[in-house]
Amino acid sequence: MSNANERGQVVLHCQLTPPRIPFLDLYPPLRASGSIPGTARTSPGYSSSALALHWMRDRDFQCLVLKLRSVSLQAAHVVNASRKSKHHARNVENALRKAGAIPLPIAKNFDLQHASNIMPLSGLVHSSLDLYGIIALAPSLTSLNFLKTLLTLKNEEYQRAVDVTGSNATKPPLFDNSDELLNPELELVVLHPTYFAFGDGIPYFEESAGGHLIFDRDTQSVLIKTDDGQTFPYRPFRPHSKRLKFEQLNVFFFVINAHGKFSAHQKSYGSDGFSQRTRAIIEATKEVYEQLFFRPKPTPGSRGESEDQAAAEIWEVQKRLKQERIDAAPTRSSDRQRARTIVASDRHGEITEEGIHLEEYDQSSSDDDDLSEPGDLSNDEVEKLQAIIDDPTSKQEDRLAAITMLLHGPEPLPLPVLPGVSVPPSATGLDHIKQIYG
């Protein structure tokens, strides 16, 4: 303890009270389902809220990262592309099923509120993780290497099936009883070390230190171990809990989440400031992500190629018929409206011929539009992406790009200005500087 204080580290007891940060009041948590005190009530519109709160309270009542027990935890969604748009959420869930990213015993009834997609986090960590993309929780290099080997073998098996029955072949199940799948090893990747936790550094929980949290950092985005001064990254850890087998956090969801954080960060700020270990995690995460959503094409001359050609012809006919129905829809709708008497009450209780139109609009928009968040995809955009994903003639890169847009939520907010903390230059700014100075 004395050595830590001599080196200027900040040592806090387990009763951690995060400093109040005024600018956070301007931005409500975009993807949190709210506080989870012991008497928390379920939120309307969440099919699994009661279940999630039950196991969160009884089994996981501590922050996943800081290991702190608190009544102010937030339920953070790992795959958080769309939490409120039901139409978008259903498409996300279907994409996860088709990729084999959900264990078969729970795949049929899975939704984004399932326990395997929710982790408890401290409010300060959650804001850093989701709102601004300052940190990312990713599988460790050990887990990522395991997943690459697993997916390589599964995709080879998948390719053999496609060569026989075509692109509609069933993907081999990915889950078994491996600990790397059911209880993955995670790692905290710090993308903006000077911001996390807002000037206090990286949180490090050392069980042997008497239950204290020690904040420290160095210039390489890694941790200075407090007992001997050697440099270590934030230690990989497994989120052991009392969860049941298929309630365990899903390792593929962390791959998807981290890939989104990494992509958004590199787009906005580049990757010049990353340590070698961070670069390795980012690259391995990208490889696993692409393998997870890989869809093989039949080998030329195989039986599967013939099956695909027949399926493509059927697909074109269905697409043409669907377009014809869409083109004819306005005429049928107007005829139907003219054929009946439209009488309904508007919101003020008056009788009006237009009232039914208002009522119908309200019902159709209440599920999605009124609950959508900034950056959410519209239903039309979701449909266009889904068409690219389902089209058997889509190129692999186009299909993967559509899946990425569908799964990833709104990009992190721009980093706020804090006293004494400089905002890193954007990638556009870096390119401009390189053009000027060579």
Give per-residue pLDDT as tens, 346-379.
434 443 333 333 333 333 334 444 445 555 778 8
* Whole-angstrom distance, CA of residue 215 vs CA of residue 205: 9
- The pLDDT confidence band at residue 304, using thresholds 50, 70 and 90, is confident
- Count the residues in the chain: 438
Q: Are 400 and 290 a contacting pair, CB within 8 Å?
A: yes
Our CA angle for 242, 243, 245, nearest 5°, is: 125
* Whole-angstrom distance, CA of residue 45 vs CA of residue 34: 13
- pLDDT confidence of residue 423: 73
Nearest to 127 by CA among 172, 73, 179: 73
Could you please report the per-residue DSSP string of 166-224? Answer: -TTPPPPP---S-HHHHS--EEEEES-TTTTTTTS-EEEEEGGGTSEEEEE--TTS-EE
Tokens of 411: 């990009």
- The pLDDT confidence band at residue 288, using thresholds 50, 70 and 90, is very high
* Whole-angstrom distance, CA of residue 51 vs CA of residue 427: 43
Does the bond joining 138 to the residue before it have cis omega, within 30 degrees of 0? no
Q: Are 42 and 53 a contacting pair, CB within 8 Å?
A: yes
Q: Is 121 helix (H, G, I), strand (E, B) or coil?
A: strand
Instruction: Determine if residue 321 is left, alpha or beta; phi over 0 gives left, psi from -120 to 50 gives alpha, anything else beta.
Output: alpha
28, 129, 211, 232, 394 from 204: Cα distances, Å? 26, 16, 11, 11, 46
Burial of 141 (0-12, 13-18, 19+ CB in 10 A): middle
- pLDDT confidence of residue 224: 42
Residue 230's contacts (CB-CB under 8 Å, 6 or more residues apart) are 224
Q: What percentage of the chain carries pLDDT values higher than 70? A: 60
Per-residue model confidence as pLDDT tens digits over 312-340 = 788 788 888 888 888 777 654 454 444 44
- The pLDDT confidence band at residue 77, using thresholds 50, 70 and 90, is confident
Write down the residue that tokens 């049941």 correspond to: 244
